[in-house]
Amino acid sequence: MEMPNYRKLAYERPSIDAFRECAMKTRLRLMTSKDIEIIESALADFQKQLSRFYTAEALCRIRHDQNTANPFYLNELSYFEESEPAVSELSAAVYSMLLSSEINESLREKFGEMLFRKALTRKETVSGEVIEYLTQESELGNKYSQELSEASIHFDGKKYNLSMMEPFLESSDREERRLAHEAVSIYYSQNLELFNGIFDDLVKTRTSIAQKLNYPNFVSLGYKRMERYDYTPEMVAEFRDNVVRYIVPLTVEIRRLQSERLGVNDLKYYDMPVMFSGGNPKPIIEKTAYHLSASKMFKSIFEKDPSFFDVLQTYGFTDLVSRKGKSTGGYCSTLLDYGVPFIFMNASGTSDDVATLIHESGHAYAAIRSADCSPFIECLSPTLETCEIHSTAMEYLSYPYMELFFGDKASVYRDLHLTMALLFIPYGCMVDEFQHIVYGNPSLSLNDRHNVWKDLEKKYQPYLDYDGNVFYESGAAWIKKGHIFTDPFYYIDYCLAQVVALQIWDISRSQPQKAFTIYDQLCLEGGNKMFLELLEKVGLESPFSVGAIKRSAYRAAEFLAL
Ligand code: ZN
């Protein structure tokens, strides 16, 4: 297929009536046919409709995020919010026919086990009874995101959005960064009631959905939704315990060394992002020129000219630099009809930009690499912890090229990046445990939830000192974490992925070619297997084994001379 130009892509609202008609027709064909070829072609027709819907939704979301003030795409987004639950329900109705088909066994052989697992998941997570609640859930999530994208922070006599505050938050001038952190906390505390209210509604809504679908609470439904076929909440709890045992002590040492380097003996919360006395290394190139360094780097890593990144860049499938009116955050979203990913981010001139650019490019590469791995869009990409390996491991594979972004500060950047990875793992576990507690005890009061967070901070970030900041000391910092609102139980995936990606990093130090081959193979496999099966296939250790965590922690500590 010829490469499309993003700017020329026409957006058209997909008709939900046409979708419903196709779904019903497909369902009927699946119900009445025992001929594999007829079933295959019925599914192919349905796949086309599904792909069209998701492509339009992704395009709408990207265009909205590029300019949140555009009323057209904002309005279209609410259309998707309203129709998404119906699409899920109709899909569940179609796929449930596969499960009950008389020739079920031959279909399994033909289409693979994964499609049937997905069919079962849909059946167990969606039903007509909960449609209304699902719509409500997505509206609440969007309300939170929209609120944040419109956030206006008063700082130093000017107004900034949250992305634009990033450079000040890690300023090498301690007083400036203290004031910046305070300004951000003022924004959140002024909106505390609003955010607490949105989250409270989300907990109630999600709990109702779980109960209507006969789950004891939202935890078990959350795991089903994340398609965790091969691990349990108990295994995740053990993983978190191992993190507390083997990684938290390293982070305490990291903070001790940090305070030594910064020459302060009272490391405060606003010092957290700054690891070096002169400030963190900053890219030596303008943020508007990142793509040029990225282009050189990906050409070398993949030994291809132009690289996948060049192609995305040339055809407009990237929007990298922060500007007013653009939504916050970074992501990679695939436009399924075209098989092309889009990289969205908010470069603001910090070292974090480089990690984000490479992270999202890793997702993009995997999407391109696995575009033909299955005829079913549901099986193109694996579950999310594996997707996060695609992106995180790319960050490590890019280490030898960091001179392109940081010049003679490249080795300082590598230290910083690995340090941040170690600091992140306990934080991610904390976000995960918070959700387990909250959804396991849905009647907790707002105040109880804040106390839960406070206790978790003591366990996972024992070095934290909020310097009397009332907002943070009340245990409210979790409201800054969007995933808690919009993507329940997603967060641990980053931690699991990090522990696996660290293995790839370790291999890359002595055998770069081998590390690249493992990475490439993992991307190529797409979503045809489950998480732990994929790891086994490419020769990586499960993050649930205590050995994997210990070894990753040990190697990283050695590299950082902790
Ligand atoms: Zn990611």
Q: Is the Cα dihedral 449, 452, 458, 460 positive or negative?
A: negative
Q: Is 1 exposed, middle or buried (0-12, 13-18, 19+ CB in 10 A)?
A: exposed
- Token representation of residue 533: 């099966």
Cα–ligand 1 centroid distance for 7 (angstroms): 24
Cα–ligand 1 centroid distance for 428 (angstroms): 13
Cα–ligand 1 centroid distance for 362 (angstroms): 8
Q: Is 129 exposed, middle or buried (0-12, 13-18, 19+ CB in 10 A)?
A: exposed
Per-residue pLDDT at 453: 98
Rounded distance between C-alpha atoms, residue 42 and residue 36, angstroms: 10
- Token representation of residue 426: 């306990």
Cα–ligand 1 centroid distance for 365 (angstroms): 12
Cα–ligand 1 centroid distance for 358 (angstroms): 10
Beta bridge partners of 343: 318, 332
Cα–ligand 1 centroid distance for 191 (angstroms): 28
Bond preceding residue 306 cis, omega within 30 of 0: yes
Rounded distance between C-alpha atoms, residue 527 and residue 549, angstroms: 25
Kind and range of the H or E run holding 345: strand 340-347
- Token representation of residue 315: 């055809």
Q: Is 470 exposed, middle or buried (0-12, 13-18, 19+ CB in 10 A)?
A: exposed
Rounded distance between C-alpha atoms, residue 317 and residue 340, angstroms: 8
Cα–ligand 1 centroid distance for 327 (angstroms): 17
Per-residue pLDDT at 1: 67
In the predicted model, residues of the chain with pLDDT beneath 70 are 1
Rounded distance between C-alpha atoms, residue 42 and residue 45, angstroms: 5
Cα–ligand 1 centroid distance for 435 (angstroms): 20
Cα–ligand 1 centroid distance for 494 (angstroms): 8
Cα–ligand 1 centroid distance for 520 (angstroms): 17
Of 205, 166, 196, give the one whose Cα is nearest residue 184.
Answer: 166
Cα–ligand 1 centroid distance for 390 (angstroms): 8
Per-residue pLDDT at 85: 86
Rounded distance between C-alpha atoms, residue 322 and residue 418, angstroms: 25
The answer to whether 461 and 428 are in contact (CB under 8 A) is no
Side chain identity, residue 289: A
Cα–ligand 1 centroid distance for 250 (angstroms): 24
Cα–ligand 1 centroid distance for 346 (angstroms): 14
Cα–ligand 1 centroid distance for 499 (angstroms): 14
Q: Are strands 153-155 and 158-160 parallel, antiparallel or unpaired?
A: antiparallel
Long-range pairs for 272-275: beta carbons < 8 A, 24 or more residues apart: 273/169, 273/170, 273/177, 274/170, 274/171, 274/172, 274/177, 275/415, 275/416, 275/419
Q: Is 158 exposed, middle or buried (0-12, 13-18, 19+ CB in 10 A)?
A: exposed
State the pTM of this model: 0.94
Cα–ligand 1 centroid distance for 361 (angstroms): 9
Q: For residue 155, what is the DSSP state?
A: E
Rounded distance between C-alpha atoms, residue 507 and residue 512, angstroms: 7
Rounded distance between C-alpha atoms, residue 73 and residue 70, angstroms: 6
Most distant pair of Cα atoms in the chain: their distance: 75
- Give 156's contacts (C-beta < 8 A, 6+ positions apart): 168, 179
- Token pair 């696996």 is found at 500
Rounded distance between C-alpha atoms, residue 436 and residue 241, angstroms: 14
Cα–ligand 1 centroid distance for 183 (angstroms): 28
- Give 81's contacts (C-beta < 8 A, 6+ positions apart): 135, 138, 139, 142
Cα–ligand 1 centroid distance for 331 (angstroms): 7
Question: Helix, strand, or coil here: 428?
Answer: helix
Cα–ligand 1 centroid distance for 375 (angstroms): 24
- Token representation of residue 386: 């594996």
Per-residue pLDDT at 325: 85
Per-residue pLDDT at 278: 87
Give the number of other CB atoms < 10 A from CB of residue 181.
25
Of 430, 416, 395, give the one whose Cα is nearest residue 257.
Answer: 416
